[in-house]
Structure 1
Amino acid sequence: MTAHVPHNAVHLMYKVYRRIFPAVHQELNYWIERAQAIPNDELRTQALSSIEDKTFHCEGGSIYAVLAGDNWKDAIRFIVAYQTISDYLDNLCDRSTSMDPTDFRMLHQSMT
């Protein structure tokens, strides 16, 4: 993909469906393999659930990669990783049995 920015909707959609989304799913497969290796059953379930249920977040965010020129694959790698950890932490907070604000704060601070 060149540094050329799509000039119309057809060109954009072509790039998104032929290049961006396949690369997103390749990155997600990497994270699925990593999640399957989590030894704790509950944490593994939440990780896999966040990827399965929120794939569209990675797809949508990765559309910005068309603006990254020749670095589009690196942009997708970053966007998918960042969105995946965000969704995972969100799942942990939403489905946690803890009501301790310190627990939630620690989860969100883990990204900084």
Structure 2
Amino acid sequence: MKSDAVRGHLDGLLLAVLEPGPLHGYAIITAVQRRSGGALELRTGTIYPALNRLERLGLLSSSWQSVGERRRRCYELTDAGRAGLAEERTAWREFTMAIGSVLDPVARPGHAV
């Protein structure tokens, strides 16, 4: 899928995969890819700036965790992030409904198609 298709929806994707619990960067990339059935492949150069921005906005918090001798930064939703995710979902539903109405109209009695 074209990376342009993700533009404008990246925040919602990141917030959604973090909803179940904290993840580190590579696990976030893997979760998006798995949940999209392989259709979406995010790059580290795309997600880390977005994660940092979401953290600055107070939608995410992060902490360093050690795994063996490696350290990795894990991100999780804040209360504001959960509210932001709810807003993203509402906006997505409205967007897909509007686009769907144009691309795949359903004939309804009394409505012109």
Tell me, yes or no, whether TM beats 0.5.
no
Q: Tell me which structure has the larger Cα radius of gyration.
A: 2
Answer 1 or 2: which has greater helix percent.
1
**Structure 1 or 2: larger strand share?**
2
TM-score (norm 2): 0.31
- TM-score normalised per structure 1: 0.31
Q: Which has the higher contact order (CA 8 A, sep 6+)?
A: 1
